Structure 1
Amino acid sequence: MRTVLIIDDNPGVREALALLLSLHDIRALCAADPAEGLALLEREAADLVIQDMNFSADTTSGEEGRVLFQQLRQRHPDLPVILLTAWTQLEQAVALVKAGAADYLAKPWDDLKLLATVENLLELAESNEALSQTRRQRRQRVDALRQRYALGDLVFASDAMISTLEMACQVARAPLPVLITGPNGSGKERIARVVHANSAVAQGPLVALNCGALPAELIEAELFGAESGAFTGAGKAREGRFEAADGGTLFLDEIGNLPLAGQMKLLRVLETGQFERLGSTRTRTTRVRVVSATNADLPAMVAAGSFREDLYYRLNVIELRLAPLAERREDILPLAEQALAEHERQTGRTVRLGEAARAALLAHAWPGNVRELRNALARAALLCREELIQPTDLGLAAAAPAQAAALSHRNLDEPSREAVLAALQSAQGVVARAAQQLGLSRQALYRRMDRYGLPREGV
């Protein structure tokens, strides 16, 4: 239950405030002087303090209130404080607000204004605590991944990326095919490298082939090798990627571009570990962990007959979905900082992101994902004339000013309407369970439901 500590030497004030708060489901703790209030805070937790500015009948300077506020700041720096002040102490109260007090109210107070102030501060405190807890949990998950697994220089901070990496590392040691899905430029090859680095064949080679970068007639030769004279231009025998990756991992990017004939041969290798070079009748054996990736809709391709259904299910034993950068905005600034650090190592020149540039990065839609982000930072690092990068240096399509401002000031941990609705549906309408999933208090979730126009009943 939300709790407010009232520190005032007037019993009538304490009783009136406690009654007013209790009528709005807010628990009140009461103390008659600073020493009692500070001692009470050592025994019981409070979400907010309402303190008087004057505790002696023979003085109206507000000095005791100032000392009490300083002691509260020292012992409980995150605890919001509302000052109750007489008109003669307004100057002192204003100075304390500048020093960190949440607000001040003059005596006699207006009940509606006081309640509105208390409610707003309590909601802010709840949100801050929930967000702090979410960030702590996120940091713990990131630290646990880095301590336990080989992640190289991979930079990530979003829940979506953490979840993908947790699953990638969990399944890495199983000798099963992995299919990585996600849009172009989102970093699928980096996830493939994480799978390899944490697999049972991590000491073996990691060999990559982009199935979309070669003509159809050459892909089979690249995969399985070819004997001399097997096709025009094959002047000498050559090994394929399966031979080169023996005892390690073969990463097949853009697997959706593999021709049907190559799909059939790939299926055979996955099922038996056997293949023949083009132009040879000798059967060869390979032990390879296959990781494939695609930005295509393979189920739709299966339905259209352009991708073999049996191969799809053979490749998709484990699927890792890599979200687009627009769905993991917490990764944008860390990735940008990494790109600038790489530029500094290569050129010796230090450049930094200005606040306006940060806002522009957060406001951009990033249709090209991480690749587009890194290109934008490389461009900005080269073209900016000062040490501080400005939005114009990034070369991004200009976002509407209102949109850029909203995104730059929006807390990226604030759950969207879709996230709230999904949590409620997952929890079958049980608000307490949905709130726990979102890292919010039940009251905070109710307020977001009201804000998003979601019904409290029948979710």
Structure 2
Amino acid sequence: MIQVLVVDDNPDILEALDLLLSLHGYKVQTADNRKKAFLAVTRHSIDLVIQDMNFDQGITSGDEGQLLFKELKLLKPGLPIILITAWTQLETAVALVKAGATDYLQKPWDDNKLLALVAEHTQRSSNKLQQPKSKLPTDHGMIYQSAEIHALMADANKVALADVNVLITGANGSGKEKLADHLHQQSPRFASPFVKVNMGAIPQDLIEAELFGAEKGAFTGANQSRQGRFEAADGGTLFLDEIGNFSLAGQMKLLRVLQTGEFERLGSNQTIKVDVRVLSATNTNLVQAVKDGSFREDLYYRLNVIELNLPPLNARKADIIPLANHFIGHEYSLSDDAKKYLLSQTWQGNVRELENACKRAVVFANDKKITTQDFSSLKLSNITKNEKQHIEDMLVKHVGVIKHAAQELGFSRQALYRRIEKYNIDLDTLC
């Protein structure tokens, strides 16, 4: 069934459009603000969006609508978006149509015209989905020229079609989430939900509730029943990033789901059954974790039916310049000396570090041609500097603030904490 997302802060409008579209055979999701709209497109297979231009009381500028439009286009470039606007935002709506919006309607809208637009553009979307898989895009955000990634993507395209669990390994920031997205989009489940969970960003005592859901009162702070990510991903794909952070107790429950598709919410005796393909990722050595007893061997083999390894960026240098060109955008270009400079770096934070460096260089650039000076002013890691010293330098620079140091290094906070532990860095002494 075709799913339409309606975004408006007015509950009467949400109710009216929900009723109108439901009566004509569409499944409707609603959201009354930008955040909910973004999450809906992330968690559901949305075929078309109908969005207002303002979502807060008293705001009439249309800026919120523009921002949501841009966010959704970045998240899902081919998603049809119909704007509903008051006459005061008409100029903005027309500009967004020129920027890629499907169409716009003025309030009060004509039901028949709205239904005709929805039918037309969901039919186009449906036709695209019915094309043979070979005609679908093959990169889904993966930008590369290196022989290493060409070989990896050839394997990934084969693996995507097999309904098996996949373990994606590689250093932090190397593109594991992008590869997971590619696997889902190329799989037979591509029209179903793709749900992502960063296990490293969730406190250990909340991970089980996040994955499996919880009933009201199951733990302190559980004020209402909540659906887990496995339920949200039913019929589709669940991506578990930083899987090595899962507790042994949670691992046992995860193993059961992988074996039987069954689990219970925390605080419930009712068994729920789901059909979910699991993609997982880690930058840690799970084989060693199995030997150490911190990761179950049987779970490891359930997750790792097939392993795809993303090499670090400095092991596929042919990808550096194409990625940099993508990150700086079409309005800017790299000078020859800037290209040589980028190729000389170690990129310990991999693609994420390169992206951050490029975005900052654009800010500091004096014109549209980015030079070595625009990058070197950012004090990127020197090729001869070891990782421990580089991390210590960043920690000192940011006065021990992990969030800011991790951002400049191109790491997640969890990855930075692991390196601090690995190198026995004493924050109290250092900062």
Fold match (TM-score > 0.5): yes
State how far apart, in whole Å, the 2-side matches of 1:225 and 1:155 are: 36
User: Which residue of the partner structure matches residue 455 of structure 1?
Assistant: none
State how far apart, in whole Å, the 2-side matches of 1:392 and 1:305 are: 49
1:367 equivalent to 2:348? Answer yes
User: Which residue of the partner structure matches residue 62 of structure 1?
Assistant: none
Match for residue 391 of structure 1 among 372, 387, 394? 372
Shift of 1:389: 1.1
Match for residue 189 of structure 2 among 177, 196, 201? 201
State how far apart, in whole Å, the 1-side matches of 2:135 and 2:323 are: 20
Which aligned segments of 4 or more residues in structure 1 are displaced greater than 3 angstroms?
145-150, 396-401
Show CA shifts across 1:172-215 (max 9, x none). 11111000000000000000001000111111000000111111
User: Which residue of the partner structure matches residue 279 of structure 1?
Assistant: 267
State how far apart, in whole Å, the 2-side matches of 1:243 and 1:198 are: 22
Q: Give the length in aligned residue pairs.
A: 250
- Give, as a single letter, the amino acid of the residue that structure 1 aligns with 2:248: L
2:200 aligns to what SS in structure 1? coil
Matches within 5 A, 1:219-234: 219-234=207-222
- Asked whether the equivalents of residues 166 and 306 of structure 2 are also in contact (C-alpha less than 8 Å), the reply is yes
Matches within 5 A, 1:171-190: 171-190=159-178
Show CA shifts across 1:358-391 (max 9, x none). 0000000000000000000000011111222121
Report the aligned-residue RMSD.
1.7
TM-score normalised per structure 1: 0.53
State how far apart, in whole Å, the 1-side matches of 2:223 and 2:155 are: 45
Shift of 1:399: 4.6
Shift of 1:274: 0.1
- Aligned residues with identical type, % of pairs: 52
State how far apart, in whole Å, the 1-side matches of 2:277 and 2:315 are: 30
- Give, as a single letter, the amino acid of the residue that structure 1 aligns with 2:380: A
Name the larger-Rg structure.
1
Match for residue 268 of structure 1 among 253, 256, 265? 256
The 1:400–1:159 alpha-carbon spacing in structure 2 relative to 1, beyond 3 Å, is closer
The 1:400–1:262 alpha-carbon spacing in structure 2 relative to 1, beyond 3 Å, is closer
TM-score normalised per structure 2: 0.56
State how far apart, in whole Å, the 2-side matches of 1:377 and 1:331 are: 14
The 1:398–1:261 alpha-carbon spacing in structure 2 relative to 1, beyond 3 Å, is closer
The 1:308–1:221 alpha-carbon spacing in structure 2 relative to 1, beyond 3 Å, is same
The 1:164–1:383 alpha-carbon spacing in structure 2 relative to 1, beyond 3 Å, is same
2:354 aligns to what SS in structure 1? helix
Show CA shifts across 1:240-294 (max 9, x none). 0000000000000000001111100000000000000000000000000000000
- Give, as a single letter, the amino acid of the residue that structure 1 aligns with 2:372: P
1:332 aligns to what SS in structure 2? helix
State how far apart, in whole Å, the 1-side matches of 2:231 and 2:276 are: 9
- Asked whether the equivalents of residues 166 and 304 of structure 2 are also in contact (C-alpha less than 8 Å), the reply is yes
Match for residue 377 of structure 1 among 358, 362, 367? 358
1:162 aligns to what SS in structure 2? helix
1:337 aligns to what SS in structure 2? helix
State how far apart, in whole Å, the 2-side matches of 1:398 and 1:258 are: 32
User: Which residue of the partner structure matches residue 258 of structure 1?
Assistant: 246
- Give, as a single letter, the amino acid of the residue that structure 2 aligns with 1:397: L
- Asked whether the equivalents of residues 364 and 396 of structure 1 are also in contact (C-alpha less than 8 Å), the reply is no
- Give, as a single letter, the amino acid of the residue that structure 2 aligns with 1:265: K
User: Which residue of the partner structure matches residue 165 of structure 1?
Assistant: 153
State how far apart, in whole Å, the 1-side matches of 2:332 and 2:169 are: 34
Q: What residue ranges of structure 2 are gaps of 5+ in the alignment?
A: 1-132, 385-431
State how far apart, in whole Å, the 1-side matches of 2:255 and 2:156 are: 23
The 1:256–1:400 alpha-carbon spacing in structure 2 relative to 1, beyond 3 Å, is closer
Matches within 5 A, 1:297-312: 297-312=285-300
State how far apart, in whole Å, the 1-side matches of 2:253 and 2:141 are: 35
Q: What residue ranges of structure 1 are gaps of 5+ in the alignment?
A: 1-144, 345-349, 402-459
User: Which residue of the partner structure matches residue 216 of structure 1?
Assistant: 204
Shift of 1:148: 6.2
Shift of 1:397: 3.3
